[in-house]
Amino acid sequence: MTMDDMQRQRVTDVEQLLRDRVLGGEYPDGSVLPQARIAKELGISRTPVREAMRALQSEGLLIGEPNRRMRVATCTLGELEDVYATRIMLESLAVALSIPHMDEAHFDLLDESLGRIADEETCGEFDRWAIEHHRFHMQLVAFCGTSLYERIERLHAKSLRFQRLYNLTQSPRWWMRRSATHTQLVAACKAQRPSWAARLTAQHLGQTAITLANDQFRDEPQSGALEAAIEMVTAGSGALNGLLSAGEQETL
């Protein structure tokens, strides 16, 4: 590995560390991130920290100030609607694309994941549940293609920020009431019914997003993006089974 490669990897590592801290709530909304202190904590120069912060600024997680300080961006209704409306559209498509490639071994993974989620619901620890919940949703879209998969994974991280805030300040253990839809999603996968799975995904994500929006931003008017995304998936899902079956036949 060349020196340039090492420097780029260092920036990538710092970027991921800071992203995890912001999305995980370790750095609260509106807090200032001092470059010098972070660099000293990590035992590195300010340069990779500064470059990592610029990357997070481009993602909308940090806001630059005139004095060159970086501050954690405050969660907004517009961001929530954008993240979840995009998730509704992309994950509904991704699960539909993945289902034709699922086999018995993958169904076993989904069943095992459901069991772990149930265990964490019993324990009542949000952070541990969130890890298993994320793993389950990514297993549902495992065969959608690398680019789409990676984009969905980034959106998951952003949505966790809203879920964590809601869990801490509004309704603890709200996440323990999701098992029925998860079970239905696995049933749709096993039945090889992508249209059903797409509708369930849209409704599942939409219900979560609307709950978060109504509670965290109750005094702000919503744009209707969430309802529009759900309606688009629901209206278009009926053709998925035939389209995907035709695609499978063309490749044989």
**165-185: per-residue pLDDT in tens?**
777 665 555 555 667 899 999
pLDDT digits (tens, 9 = 90+) for 14-73: 998 998 888 777 888 889 999 999 999 999 999 999 999 998 888 778 988 877 789 998
What average pLDDT does the segment 82-91 reach? 97
What are the backbone angles phi and psi of residue 62, rounded to the nearest 5°? Answer: -120, 155
Q: Which of 38-47, 184-193, 212-221 has the lowest mean pLDDT?
A: 212-221
Cα(184)–Cα(178) distance, integer angstroms: 11
Region 77-251: CATH code? 1.20.120.530
Could you tell me which CATH number the domain at 3-72 has? 1.10.10.10
CATH 1.10.10.10 residue window(s) in the chain:
3-72
pLDDT of residue 149: 97
Length of the chain: 252
Q: Where in the chain is the domain with CATH 1.20.120.530?
A: 77-251
Structure pTM?
A: 0.77
- Stated as kind and residue range, the H or E segment containing 226 is helix 225-236
- Tell me the Ramachandran region of residue 234: left when phi exceeds 0, alpha when psi lies from -120 to 50, beta otherwise: alpha
pLDDT above 70 for 130? yes
**Residue 210 exposed, middle or buried by CB count within 10 Å (0-12, 13-18, 19+):** middle
